[in-house]
Structure 1
């Protein structure tokens, strides 16, 4: 998985959080829920933002909570859906 995927995910996350945290301040291993407090509406906005950013449709049937435990883990999930993005 390329660092580009992770950086793009961080940019989407920073936009959803809209609390002044920039993409560079988001750690690769930060827990999206525990550390950034994404609520259910923010999570939906985040996932829709990822779909727009990577021009893909997420496979929600195969998306597990563990895939959302860190930016890096989620990047691996996204890269698996779009191998050209990695």
Structure 2
């Protein structure tokens, strides 16, 4: 894993607040299907990502496919913040 993926996993663990550790979050696990993020958690997750990486997500171009896994979402974040 890399630093961006680790930070994404960290935000996810905070939002889920279910006792899961960062190490338990798989890089290919579906954020919605496997971790069951509901709409409020998803908003918290996306806002947490913006705060963590000090960026504004492009919500108009954000697609569900970007949220299919930690690895895919980290790739999306890297495109918005290449220095991340």
Runs (4+) of structure 1 exceeding 2 A deviation are none
SS, match of residue 83 in structure 2: helix
Output the TM-score relative to the length of structure 1: 0.96
Q: What is the CA distance between 1:52 and its match in structure 2? A: 0.2
Find the counterpart in structure 2 of residue 13 from structure 1: 12
Counterpart of 2:64 in structure 1 is 65
**Structure 2: distance between partners of 1:6 and 1:32:** 13
Distance in 2 between the 1:15 and 1:60 partners?
A: 21
Q: Pairwise CA RMSD of aligned residues?
A: 0.9
Q: Which has the higher contact order (CA 8 A, sep 6+)?
A: 1
Residues paired across the two proteins, number: 84
Whole-Å separation in 2 of the counterparts to 1:43 and 1:76: 18
Cα distance between partner residues in 1 of 2:34 and 2:72:
15
Task: Give the equivalent residue in structure 2 for 1:74.
Answer: 73
Gap regions ≥5 residues in structure 2? none
Matching residue of 2:46? 47
